């Protein structure tokens, strides 16, 4: 029997949960149809989900037909919970993107489409609410072709239009055209193949609330899907962490290879001596469907399961033969200070709240030792309300949040060489690094070009892994680093006195020294988040809107017109800071839109990415971060002199290093064009990275 993992995705209020309910009902998984407005749907099991009528957490249901078993994953549609949706994408075999025929393609719909493209997920489209007044089928198809892909193909045509359908389908892929020219038709097997490699996107029309078109979609999922290949050896992806009512930590896995049995012992990455980073045992395996689950002894490739007993893995981790997932694309742009009830111990509370970051790593929970404040990153107001309710019900704490501030990030604009030394009495370590700007959105990438006869490979792995786990902050505002490549270029250990923690001290000081150099030479770059917006408003208000957007330094595409509503549509990107504090009154721009359009305008925002902040000096001065006084991440080096450790300021420490800079050595060496010299250079520069993981922690 074919096994598939199918995700249902949509912009909020497009009818995603209603469609999921219809699919479950037709397959016999549920006996009665629930409704979102009746608060009795099968997958929205949480109290807040039913009261608000939105999906907050991704849910799983097992749907079975005579020929296949489908693990149906219903994902949140609201932009505040986009991170939950993105984590689910990593385990999908297929996706159904639900689009409201009334509202058309929203900005968040395009964001979801790009994420599906990034993860190479075959996608079906369901145009919902066609029973309501709105765009015609031909207008919707034109919009799909223009804004999503010309490969979107209408699969809802009648048998009389079969010839026209085959002709349209043949245009999507070369092998389909060859089959069409040979036989005059295109087989279902060929269509399934084209869909599986994203060379065709089937489109279906219906009204999920009235069960129109749902059966057609279910049959199409049976006919036009193929089970992806799986490895023979054990492999699994971790995509979610949760907790049951008893407080047990639940790890949700997608099995991508082999089998997994109860009491199996799993291990983390091993070092050069073959010693694993951690060892834990599977206590229980559960298969969830809605709020209920059944316990099983074994799961195999293609299954979605939940296990207990693992405490060292997090969303994105790969187990067995599976690689870790890349850093998420969607990031929160606002950080908030958590205000605790009077007398609440801060450190103990922080340790409790860390459970929430295990479940949602994008919260980026941080404790500031100097001020004793807890800060957390959130996507928006709705997520804030949900988090406040979760903290109250789970920990009994009635917390509040301040107004929030923009989450800035930092990088460098040019290469910077740096070094750090740590040598108090009976300790020794020296590290040389090269900092280089990375591609936008690349995160922090680690590499090494140090030969093993200079510094043992186990020391190299230790330096990079420790840096990855305890990455220092930037020196402009104390923000997280991103779009940065950190290359280990040199290092030195002592046979007797070097311990593992010594290299962390040296590497931290090296990195901070490089950033301080970059700040001195004005090479540090402050990055601010940008939104992608879609602004729909009356035509007579477009002049005011364009003027506002130019004031925000936003990009504006040519004005489009919605024929069905007569509204003008502006698209583009804008700085998140301006959208949240529109001048001169510093109020959120969506409220400004509601004001000057008298409630007729509507703007939707989705995270676009990070870009250099044009007001860098003003923002840095306003935040007032002083890197020299940050005791957590010092930039000075420590050398041993007359039996005691002395601090050498970062500006002077280069002249005291015990190892010469590799780059300086290269620059000073005479040019040797002999074949042996060329081979030596190639070996150094093309060396396989010790660690190529991207850093995605705060």
Task: Give the CATH number for residue 276.
Answer: 2.40.30.10
pLDDT score of 203 more than 60: yes
> In sequence order, what are the residues at sequence separation of 6 or more whose Cβ sits closer than 8 angstroms to the Cβ of residue 591?
none
CA distance 269 to 272: 10
Number of structural domains (the chain) is 4
Burial of 337 (0-12, 13-18, 19+ CB in 10 A): middle
Is beta strand 444-448 parallel, antiparallel or unpaired with respect to 694-695? Answer: antiparallel
- The whole-number pLDDT of residue 73 equals 94
CA distance 153 to 190: 14
CA distance 631 to 427: 20
Are residues 538 and 391 part of one domain?
no
pLDDT score of 429 more than 90: yes
pLDDT band for position 276 (cuts 50, 70, 90): confident
- The whole-number pLDDT of residue 675 equals 35
Are residues 582 and 667 part of one domain?
yes
Q: What share of the chain in percent tops pLDDT 90?
A: 54
Residue 600 lies in a domain: yes
- Give pLDDT tens digits for 347-398: 899 988 988 998 888 888 888 766 778 989 988 888 889 899 999 989 999 9
Sign of the C-alpha dihedral computed for residues 611, 617, 618 and 624 taken in this order? positive
Are residues 141 and 115 part of one domain?
yes
What value does the mean pLDDT take over residues 430-459?
A: 91
Single residue among 269, 294, 320 that ends a domain in this structure: 320
**Which tokens sit at 213?**
């078109």
CA distance 576 to 573: 9
Residue 10 lies in a domain: yes
Are residues 436 and 303 part of one domain?
no
- DSSP-based three-state secondary structure for 35: coil
pLDDT score of 152 more than 50: yes
pLDDT band for position 268 (cuts 50, 70, 90): confident
pLDDT band for position 136 (cuts 50, 70, 90): confident
CA distance 295 to 285: 6
- The whole-number pLDDT of residue 308 equals 95
Residue 412 lies in a domain: yes
pLDDT band for position 548 (cuts 50, 70, 90): very high
What value does the mean pLDDT take over residues 172-201?
A: 94
- The whole-number pLDDT of residue 684 equals 30
- Quickly count: other Cβ atoms within 10 Å of residue 394's Cβ: 14
Residue 123 lies in a domain: yes
Please check whether residue 27 is in contact with residue 6, taking contact to mean a CB–CB distance below 8 angstroms. Answer: no
Are residues 98 and 27 part of one domain?
yes
- DSSP-based three-state secondary structure for 64: strand
φ and ψ at 223, to 5 degrees?
A: -85, -40
- Quickly count: other Cβ atoms within 10 Å of residue 303's Cβ: 22
- Give pLDDT tens digits for 1-19: 899 999 999 988 898 989 9
What value does the mean pLDDT take over residues 694-698?
A: 30
Single residue among 160, 192, 223 that ends a domain in this structure: 223
pLDDT score of 310 more than 90: yes
Q: What is the DSSP code (8-state) at residue 42?
A: S
Query: In terms of residues, how long is the chain?
Result: 698
The secondary structure of 341-382 as a DSSP string is: PTT--HHHHHHHHHHHHHH-GGG--EEETTTTEEEEEES-HH
Residue 298 lies in a domain: yes
Are residues 484 and 463 part of one domain?
yes
Single residue among 407, 428, 446 that ends a domain in this structure: 407
Nearest to 697 by CA among 324, 265, 176, 382: 324
Query: Which residue matches tokens 């559960």?
Result: 286
Task: Give the CATH number for residue 108.
Answer: 3.40.50.300
- The lowest-confidence range among 141-150, 198-207, 265-274 is 265-274
- The whole-number pLDDT of residue 326 equals 80
- The lowest-confidence range among 21-25, 507-511, 544-548, 691-695 is 691-695
- Quickly count: other Cβ atoms within 10 Å of residue 644's Cβ: 9
pLDDT score of 674 more than 50: no
Residue 362 lies in a domain: yes
More confident residue, 564 or 288: 288
- The whole-number pLDDT of residue 367 equals 82
CA–centroid distance for 84 within its chain? 9
> In sequence order, what are the residues at sequence separation of 6 or more whose Cβ sits closer than 8 angstroms to the Cβ of residue 554?
533, 572, 573, 574, 575, 578
- The whole-number pLDDT of residue 369 equals 66
What value does the mean pLDDT take over residues 22-50?
A: 84
pLDDT score of 311 more than 80: yes
Please check whether residue 8 is in contact with residue 72, taking contact to mean a CB–CB distance below 8 angstroms. Answer: yes
List the beta bridge partners of residue 10. Answer: 98
pLDDT band for position 662 (cuts 50, 70, 90): low
Are residues 434 and 403 part of one domain?
no
Are residues 383 and 239 part of one domain?
no
pLDDT score of 175 more than 80: yes
Are residues 138 and 80 part of one domain?
yes
Q: What is the DSSP code (8-state) at residue 557?
A: P
Domain containing residue 687: 408-698
Are residues 265 and 245 part of one domain?
yes
- The whole-number pLDDT of residue 677 equals 34
Are residues 150 and 82 part of one domain?
yes
Residue 326 lies in a domain: no
- The whole-number pLDDT of residue 673 equals 36
Residue 328 lies in a domain: no
Are residues 448 and 388 part of one domain?
no
- The whole-number pLDDT of residue 692 equals 32
- The lowest-confidence range among 83-87, 413-417, 641-645 is 641-645
pLDDT score of 685 more than 80: no
pLDDT band for position 668 (cuts 50, 70, 90): low
pLDDT score of 48 more than 90: no
- Quickly count: other Cβ atoms within 10 Å of residue 667's Cβ: 8
pLDDT band for position 491 (cuts 50, 70, 90): very high
- The whole-number pLDDT of residue 151 equals 96
Task: Give the CATH number for residue 670.
Answer: 3.30.230.10
- DSSP-based three-state secondary structure for 534: strand
- The whole-number pLDDT of residue 587 equals 83
pLDDT score of 667 more than 90: no
């Amino acid at each position: 029997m074919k096994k598939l993992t199918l995700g249902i995705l949509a912009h909020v209020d497009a009818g995603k949960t209603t469609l999921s309910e219809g699919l479950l009902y037709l397959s016999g998984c549920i006996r009665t149809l629930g409704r979102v407005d009746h608060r009795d749907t099968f997958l929205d099991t949480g109290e807040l989900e039913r009261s608000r009528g939105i999906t907050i957490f991704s849910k799983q249901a097992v749907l079975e037909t005579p020929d296949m078993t489908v693990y149906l994953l219903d994902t949140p549609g609201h932009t505040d919970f986009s991170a939950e949706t993105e984590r689910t994408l990593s385990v999908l075999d297929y996706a159904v993107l639900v689009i409201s025929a009334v509202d058309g393609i929203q900005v968040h719909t395009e964001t979801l489409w790009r994420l599906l493209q990034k993860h190479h997920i075959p996608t079906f489209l369901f145009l919902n609410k066609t029973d309501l007044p709105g765009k015609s089928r031909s207008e919707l198809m034109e919009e799909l072709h223009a804004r999503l892909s010309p490969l979107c193909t209408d699969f809802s045509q009648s048998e009389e239009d079969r010839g026209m359908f085959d002709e349209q389908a043949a245009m999507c892929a070369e092998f389909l055209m060859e089959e069409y020219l040979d036989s005059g038709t295109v087989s279902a097997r060929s269509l399934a193949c084209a869909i599986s490699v994203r060379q065709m996107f089937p489109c279906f029309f219906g009204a999920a609330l009235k069960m129109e078109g749902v059966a057609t979609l279910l049959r199409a999922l049976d006919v036009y899907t193929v089970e992806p290949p799986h490895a023979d050896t054990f492999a699994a992806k971790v995509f979610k962490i949760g907790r049951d009512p008893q407080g047990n930590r639940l790890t949700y896995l997608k099995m991508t290879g082999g089998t997994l049995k109860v009491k199996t012992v799993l291990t983390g990455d091993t070092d050069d001596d073959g010693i694993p980073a951690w060892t834990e045992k599977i206590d229980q395996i559960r298969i969830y469907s809605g709020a209920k689950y059944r316990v099983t002894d074994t799961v195999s490739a293609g299954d979605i399961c939940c296990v207990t007993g693992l405490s060292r893995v997090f969303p994105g981790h790969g187990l067995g033969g599976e690689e870790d997932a890349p850093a998420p694309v969607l990031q929160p742009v606002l950080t908030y200070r958590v205000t605790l009830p009077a007398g609440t111990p801060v450190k103990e509370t922080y340790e409790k709240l860390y459970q929430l970051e295990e479940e949602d790593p994008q919260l980026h929970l941080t404790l500031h030792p100097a001020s004793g404040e807890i800060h957390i990153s959130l996507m928006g107001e709705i997520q804030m309300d949900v988090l406040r309710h979760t903290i109250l019900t789970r920990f009994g704490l009635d917390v509040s949040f301040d107004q929030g501030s923009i989450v800035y990030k930092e990088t460098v604009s040019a290469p910077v060489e740096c070094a750090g030394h740590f040598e108090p009495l009976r300790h020794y370590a020296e590290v040389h690094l090269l900092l280089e700007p990375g591609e936008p959105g690349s995160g922090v990438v680690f590499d090494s070009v140090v030969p093993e006869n200079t510094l043992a490979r186990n020391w190299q792995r230790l330096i990079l892994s420790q840096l990855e786990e305890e990455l220092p902050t930037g020196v402009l505002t104390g923000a997280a680093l991103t779009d940065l490549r950190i290359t280990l270029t040199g290092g030195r250990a002592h046979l007797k006195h070097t311990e593992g923690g010594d290299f962390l001290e040296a590497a931290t000081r090296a990195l901070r020294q490089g950033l301080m150099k970059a700040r001195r030479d004005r090479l540090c770059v402050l990055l601010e988040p940008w939104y992608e917006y879609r602004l729909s408003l009356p035509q007579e208000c477009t002049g005011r809107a364009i003027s506002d957007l130019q004031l925000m330094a936003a990009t504006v595409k040519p004005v489009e017109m919605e024929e069905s509503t007569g509204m003008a549509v502006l698209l583009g990107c804008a700085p998140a800071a301006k959208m949240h504090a529109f001048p001169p009154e510093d109020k959120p721009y969506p409220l400004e839109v509601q004001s000057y359009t008298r409630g007729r305008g509507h703007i939707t925002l989705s995270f676009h990415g990070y870009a250099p902040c044009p007001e860098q000096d003003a923002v840095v001065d306003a935040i007032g971060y002083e890197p020299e006084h940050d005791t957590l991440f010092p930039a000075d080096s420590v050398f041993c002199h007359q039996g005691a450790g002395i601090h050498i300021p970062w500006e002077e420490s280069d002249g005291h290093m015990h190892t010469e800079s590799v780059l300086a050595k290269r620059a000073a060496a005479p040019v040797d064009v002999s074949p042996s010299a060329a081979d030596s250079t190639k070996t150094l520069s093309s060396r396989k990275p010790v660690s190529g993981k991207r850093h995605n922690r705060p």
